[in-house]
Amino acid sequence: MKNANPQNYNMSNAGGGNGANDFISGDYFKNKGTIIGNSPHVDRVRQRAGLAKLSDVKPGLSQAAFLTQLMHERVTELTGEDVRWMDLARWGFFDDQSKVDQLKARDFEFNNFTVGKNKYLPIPQSEIDINPNLVQNDLY
């Protein structure tokens, strides 16, 4: 899949999927309310990594507990794959100071993060100059 970003993300492979797709599927089904407990998508990723199925290790997780575990699984499986920002935004970390404080506790790069500002980048002044309909993002 190509996009405007200079990075091209391959979201599938001939081996039957990848960790990102399986975790996204697990996250999607959790948010739709169709999973109470564990996800076969997460189990597939764990098995590929040589780990026991989550459904065996932590059976019957509530939706909230499953989401917390999914966040952990995504960090450990996808570290360095440039998807963390999207996960944190989707999970509401950038809209809640207490969640930003959790990030600050383990990642110094969030020390200067300001809720309401840093979720989005500023619109370049050159774009605002040529399009009078654009309004600069708050706090910039």
- Summarised one tens digit per residue, pLDDT across range 41-78 is 788 888 888 889 888 888 888 888 888 888 888 877 76
- Non-local (6+) Cβ contacts of 12 within 8 A are 18, 21
Q: What's the predicted TM-score (pTM) here?
A: 0.58
Residue 113 has pLDDT above 70, yes or no: yes
Q: How far from 92 is each of 1, 60, 119, CA to CA, in Å?
A: 26, 25, 10
Domain residue limits, the chain: 1-91, 95-140
Where residue 120 falls among pLDDT bands split at 50, 70, 90? confident
Where residue 32 falls among pLDDT bands split at 50, 70, 90? low
The distance between the two most distant Cα atoms of the chain, rounded to a whole number of Å, is 58
SS (HEC) of 104-119: HHHCHHHCCCCCCCCC
